[in-house]
C-alpha cells in the first residue's frame, strides 16, 4: 500500500491488488453461476441432438417419397425398434443404423413399421411417431392431398 499526502492535507492511500476476501467472494459468485447454468447447457445440447436426429429421419422419409415419385412405383421405408432404417434408393438397399430415435409401434408383437409411399407421393400411414433417446417425441404427419411431410416435436405423446 502506498500513501501520499496531498497539498490540502488529505492523505491518499493507494493499494494494488485484491484482498483474499474479495477474491473468495468472486469465486463463490462464479461457482454459483456455473452450478445454475450447467444443467441448462445440458438440456440445450440434448434438444439440439433431438432436432438433428429428427431432421435426419425427415431426410430419409423425403428421399423415400422422392424415389417413389421418380420411379413411379411403390416405395417402402422400414423402421425397426433397434434404431435401424432400411429402404431401396436408386436401386440399392440403404441401411441406416444407430438412429437416436425409436419408432413407436401400434402393436406389441411388431418389431418394425413399414411406411409405403405411392407413386403420387402420398403415404400409406398418416402418422409415424418416434421417441428420442432424450425422451422427446417426434411425430411425422403426411398430408393425404399433396403428400408433404411435417415434423412436430413434443415432450409427451
Classify strands 112-117 and 101-103 as parallel, antiparallel or unpaired: unpaired
Mean pLDDT (the chain) is 83
pLDDT of residue 14: 67
Q: Does position 77 have pLDDT exceeding 70, yes or no?
A: yes
Residue 123 CA to residue 116 CA, distance in Å, equals: 6
- pLDDT tens for 35-50 read 888 877 777 666 677 7
Residue 87 CA to residue 113 CA, distance in Å, equals: 12
| For range 25-37, the mean pLDDT | 90
Structure-model confidence comparison of residues 101 and 61, the more confident one: 61
- Which of these, 62, 53, 55, 56, lies nearest to 117 by C-alpha position? 62
Domains of the chain with CATH codes: 31-154 (3.55.40.10)
Residue 154 CA to residue 134 CA, distance in Å, equals: 12
State which of 92-101, 107-116, 120-129 shows the largest mean pLDDT: 120-129
Residue 123 CA to residue 105 CA, distance in Å, equals: 17
CA 32 to chain centre: 28
Which strands form 92-96's sheet, in the order they lie side by side?
92-96, 85-89, 75-80, 112-117
pTM of this prediction? 0.67
pLDDT of residue 9: 74
Question: b/e per residue, 101-113, with b = 16+ CB within 10 A?
Answer: bbbbeeeeeeeeb
pLDDT of residue 2: 67
Amino acid at each position: 500500500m502506498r500513501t501520499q499526502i496531498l497539498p490540502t492535507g488529505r492523505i491518499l492511500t493507494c493499494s494494488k491488488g485484491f484482498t483474499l476476501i474479495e477474491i473468495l467472494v468472486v469465486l463463490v459468485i462464479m461457482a454459483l453461476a456455473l452450478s445454475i447454468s450447467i444443467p441448462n447447457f445440458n438440456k440445450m445440447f440434448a434438444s439440439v441432438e433431438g432436432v438433428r436426429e429428427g431432421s435426419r429421419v425427415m431426410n430419409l422419409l423425403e428421399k423415400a417419397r422422392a424415389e417413389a415419385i421418380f420411379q413411379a412405383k411403390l416405395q417402402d421405408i422400414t423402421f425397426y425398434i433397434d434404431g435401424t432404417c432400411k429402404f431401396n434408393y436408386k436401386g440399392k438397399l440403404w441401411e441406416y443404423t444407430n438412429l437416436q430415435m425409436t419408432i413407436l409401434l401400434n402393436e406389441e408383437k411388431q418389431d418394425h413399421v413399414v411406411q409405403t409411399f405411392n407413386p403420387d407421393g402420398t403415404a400409406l400411414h398418416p402418422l409415424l411417431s418416434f421417441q428420442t433417446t432424450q425422451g422427446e417425441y417426434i411425430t411425422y404427419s403426411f398430408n393425404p392431398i399433396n403428400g408433404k411431410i411435417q415434423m412436430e416435436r413434443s415432450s409427451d405423446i
